[in-house]
Amino acid sequence: MAPGTRSTPQSQHTQPAQPTQAQPAVVPRSTRSTTRAAALQSQSDQQGPQHGPRAARPAVAPRTLSMTPRSQSAHQSPHPAQQPTRPPTRALPKEIDHLFSDVLPNCPDMKQGIAATTKAPTNADYNKHESKQLKYVVYAPNLVDGLFDHVDDWASVPFGKRTASSVALWQANTDVDSVQHFLPPEINSEQDIRDWVLRGLLNPSLACIRAVEAKGLVGLKRKKNKSAYMVSAPGKPASIPDELLVKASARHKPVLTMEFKTPNAMGTEVFSELTEQLQNAHRVVRFHWPHKLNDEEKVKHEGTAGEEEEEGGEDEGEEEDEEDEDHNDDSDEGEEGEQEDEDEDEEEEEEEEDEEEEEEESEDGQEGGGAEEGKVKGKVGQSGMYKETKLLVQVWGQMLDYDVKYAVLTSYACTIFIYRDPSTNTLYLSRKYKPTSIGTRKAVTAWFAQALGLIREDLFQLPALDEHWKSEMEKHFPPMVDPEGTAMGGLDFTMVEKLKEIIRLASSRLEGQQARGSSY
């Protein structure tokens, strides 16, 4: 064999090739691959087709040797490339990915007699200056969903080393199975709902915030002035939310308020009329702020609801006079007996009224607070304040007193995210999120991140409003008044129906004009 040459395939197993000094000590990888492929191909051609056990080898050889030249695939893997599930900029850590896709269990069963009412407005609410009153409400179903892409980008950070203690702390606060086994199996009060909301929704989102900001699970432990946290509101005469989200700083400034309700007081049907009638996000509905009428307003409304009250009052007065005459004719027991009878009658009437109000409020809570179902008998106009009105007044007051733009209203069974626009006194309400839906935890995390300033503010877009629609809504409508002289206020859907009819007629006329034009 000549020096510097390699053995033929036939002698390869008996006489291996001996490298000479002229041959490089290290052969480039591309040269080795090409030479090896050529040798194997030559061996296969000389052996020809085989019979018996080796007959299958030629079928394997093309698949094994089917390679492109190294010069054309210098950066390609020998395995077929797989399509990534997310763009490279969204390589979410596995813990965050699981958190965003977790599904929570349903709300436990509630005991009978759970509170179904919502706190009525306080005197401080009634006396709010007009410049600080809620004026408009907008249903914006994509208010939070529009942040999902941005929260993915924010959370796509490489996590550092995971220690056993940090993984255990993460699991204890976020894993669905670990969390639910230590929660109340039934709901007896708002405190039980508070536990479910904190452990199931809020704490996991706060853990996500800390982990992403620290770029690892080791950042879960709170550090003074460096970690966001949640805390209850201090007791003071102003509105008191159930929980506050506080930004990591020396000022300890709240950036978001949270209000918890039982599913009886805030079911999944809450704000159903708002979501059905204002499906288009560019539409607003006027909100009349409840307040005590002054003397001028009372005189102004005497010609409307006051006349009806006077007519009813005259009839009632005549009946009372007749009853008094009969009572005086039959009275032989003296003035003390009469006074006792009158006191008993008044007490019975008050008890009956209280029982009726409690029954109707309970029915209102169980039925979800619908517009027609939530009325209380015996009132003028909108007899009884709607549950939605109380909720909006309460949340608006909390956001105003703490000067925040973000809020969460939840009963665990139903969660709504709220944004306050201070320049227009408008509230934007998101769609309703259920715990059994994918993305509920992600929505809470996105809302927390937005409130804490972790997502650029210019990426948060409010829906564009129809200015013509809004100008029509700004027209004055007489508030509905109860017999005690309180303007009940609330969402004004009367004009919504009128505007819908106007739009329908205008559309019909336009279609008719277009049809006549096309016929010529």
The mean-pLDDT minimum among 90-104, 377-391, 436-450 falls in 377-391
Overall number of domains in the chain: 1
What is residue 140's predicted lDDT score, i.e. its pLDDT?
93
What is residue 73's predicted lDDT score, i.e. its pLDDT?
38
In a domain, 188, yes or no: yes
What is residue 380's predicted lDDT score, i.e. its pLDDT?
28
CB 206 within 8 A of CB 448: yes
> Taking 70 as the threshold, does the pLDDT of residue 173 lie above it?
yes
Number of helices (H) and strands (E) in the chain: give both, helices first.
17, 11
- Model confidence pLDDT, tens digit, residues 47-72: 444 444 444 444 444 443 333 333 34
In a domain, 264, yes or no: yes
CB atoms within 10 A of CB 143: 25
CB 36 within 8 A of CB 44: no
What is residue 141's predicted lDDT score, i.e. its pLDDT?
92
Q: What pTM, to 2 d.p., does this model score? A: 0.66
In a domain, 164, yes or no: yes
Q: Which value, in Å, is the radius of gyration of the alpha carbons in the chain?
A: 37
> Taking 80 as the threshold, does the pLDDT of residue 496 lie above it?
no
What is residue 395's predicted lDDT score, i.e. its pLDDT?
96
In a domain, 285, yes or no: yes
In a domain, 356, yes or no: no
Q: Please name the residues in contact with 106: beta carbons below 8 A apart, sequence gap of 6 or more.
A: 413, 435, 436
Percent of the chain with pLDDT over 70: 60
Output the average pLDDT for the chain: 72
> Taking 90 as the threshold, does the pLDDT of residue 286 lie above it?
no
CB atoms within 10 A of CB 480: 23
In a domain, 431, yes or no: yes
- Model confidence pLDDT, tens digit, residues 440-490: 999 999 999 999 999 998 899 898 887 877 777 766 555 566 666 667 788
What is residue 221's predicted lDDT score, i.e. its pLDDT?
82
In a domain, 327, yes or no: no
Domain of residue 262, residue span: 90-294+381-504
In a domain, 35, yes or no: no
Helix crossing, 94-101 with 203-214: angle to 10°?
A: 160
Question: Could you give the CA distance from residue 103 to residue 97 in angstroms, rounded to a whole number?
Answer: 12
Output 208-211 pairs: Cβ under 8 A, ≥24 positions apart: 208/96, 208/99, 208/155, 208/174, 208/445, 209/445, 209/448, 209/449, 209/452, 209/454, 211/93, 211/95, 211/96, 211/159, 211/170
